């Protein structure tokens, strides 16, 4: 009997995949600022595990190697692995491979990425997973499945590792993704390919300025099999108030597989970030779980400390580390959006941090 399991983010990891911002990406107008931000993310990650960094050319790789060595030292720097791969942009969460266990064996799923419903070019990003396999980045025992007939982004999915998926209807039912599929058909398909037992659909909640059509990783996140952290809005004058109150009510109605209410941990609504008159989707829900730590996006606000304190409750035994991500918000994303974890045993043995 076939058994599939869509892994949870908190399971042991080999490393994290990122794509370096370059002059041909949408970051061109603020390249130095965002590269400094990415450098901070990379050097923080190297404290905990390997980093697989996609770069546009060898010159960039050489410069980064020297800079990282100076910043973190030789021991940590040797766990940075750079690969020259063409990219449109930097949103590894959404073009990166999704990890699956299939009858005890390792597998990666490669879905179609179409720029969040045909909003942005994605021709290069859509080839990345196949390229990584062809270049031998992953363990030889890891299978690769091409599912490019279905549009799906990693930021749209939250797994508890035990067969429960948390997602939003706004994103998965977007007509520019899989418009020919209805809700039931999508749920049946996801259950089949990801080995799910059930799907918890969130029908409310959004963030102003979000290009993703309400990715779940901007709103609500599994922290464990029975704990969900979520964005809470308490300001009745805020444009998000009614929608996020409705989302909170939905989350309260959800039950664990054992029939118990989830432990819900509210995260503060990030302080409003406005650029050129547009409110941007700053959110503390866009955290990243890594080996021994949780990296939390911060926005140079007094609310940062409150978010860190709340997440510390969800992750006892893990270090909770703030990472300045204010530059990322200027292109409508944050920390989780630019990273994709690679679970333990999935990377080639030469790239693992033992």
Q: Average pLDDT by consecutive 10-residue portion of the chain (354 residues)? A: 90 98 96 98 98 98 97 96 97 97 94 86 92 94 91 97 98 93 97 97 96 95 98 96 98 98 98 92 98 98 97 96 97 97 94 78
Domain that holds residue 171: 4-351
Buried b (16+ CB within 10 A) or exposed e, 137-165: bbbeebeeeeeeeebbbbbbbbbbbebbb
Domain count of the fold of the chain: 1
The predicted model scores a pTM of 0.97
Q: What is the pLDDT of residue 116?
A: 80
**Cα–Cα dist 160/225, whole Å:** 5
Q: What is the pLDDT of residue 1?
A: 59
CATH number of the domain where residue 80 is located: 3.75.10.10
Buried b (16+ CB within 10 A) or exposed e, 300-323: ebebbeebbebbeebbeebebbbb
Is residue 109 within 8 Å of residue 72, measured between CB atoms? no
Cα 91 to the center of its chain, rounded Å: 8
Residue with tokens 């990282």: 68
**Cα–Cα dist 215/338, whole Å:** 13
DSSP 206-275: --TT-SSSS-GGGTEEEEETTEEEEEE---TTSTTHHHHHHHHHHHHH-B-TTSPBPEEEEEEPPPPEEE
């Amino acid at each position: 009997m076939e058994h599939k399991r869509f892994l949870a983010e908190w399971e042991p990891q080999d490393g994290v995949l990122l794509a370096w911002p370059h002059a041909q990406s949408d970051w061109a107008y603020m390249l130095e600022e965002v590269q400094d931000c990415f450098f901070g993310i990379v050097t923080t990650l190297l404290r905990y595990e390997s980093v697989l960094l996609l770069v546009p050319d060898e010159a960039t790789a050489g410069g980064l190697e020297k800079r990282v060595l100076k910043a973190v030292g030789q021991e940590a720097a040797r766990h940075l692995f750079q690969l020259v791969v063409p990219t449109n942009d930097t949103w590894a969460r959404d073009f990166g491979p999704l990890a699956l266990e299939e009858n005890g064996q390792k597998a990666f799923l490669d879905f179609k990425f179409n720029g969040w419903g045909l909003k942005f070019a994605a021709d290069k990003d859509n080839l990345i997973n196949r390229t990584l396999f062809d270049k031998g980045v992953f363990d030889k025992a890891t299978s690769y499945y091409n599912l490019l007939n279905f549009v799906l982004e990693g930021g749209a999915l939250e797994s508890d590792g035990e067969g429960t998926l948390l997602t939003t209807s706004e994103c998965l039912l977007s007509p520019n993704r899989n418009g020919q599929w209805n809700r039931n058909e999508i749920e049946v398909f996801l259950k089949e390919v990801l080995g799910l037992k059930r799907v918890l659909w969130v029908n409310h909640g959004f963030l102003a300025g979000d290009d993703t059509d309400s990715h779940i990783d901007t709103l609500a996140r599994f922290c464990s099999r029975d704990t969900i952290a979520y964005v809470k809005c308490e300001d009745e004058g805020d444009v998000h108030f009614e929608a996020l109150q409705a989302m909170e009510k939905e989350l309260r109605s959800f039950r664990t597989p054992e029939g118990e209410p989830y432990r819900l941990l509210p995260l503060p609504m990030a302080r409003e970030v406005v650029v050129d008159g547009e409110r941007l989707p700053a959110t503390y829900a866009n955290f990243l779980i890594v080996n021994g730590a949780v990296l939390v996006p911060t926005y140079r606000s007094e609310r940062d400390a409150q978010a860190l304190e709340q997440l510390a409750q969800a992750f006892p035994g893990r270090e909770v580390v703030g990472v300045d991500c204010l530059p990322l918000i200027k292109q409508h994303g944050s920390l989780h959006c630019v990273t994709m974890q690679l679970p333990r045993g999935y990377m080639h043995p030469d790239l693992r941090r033992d």
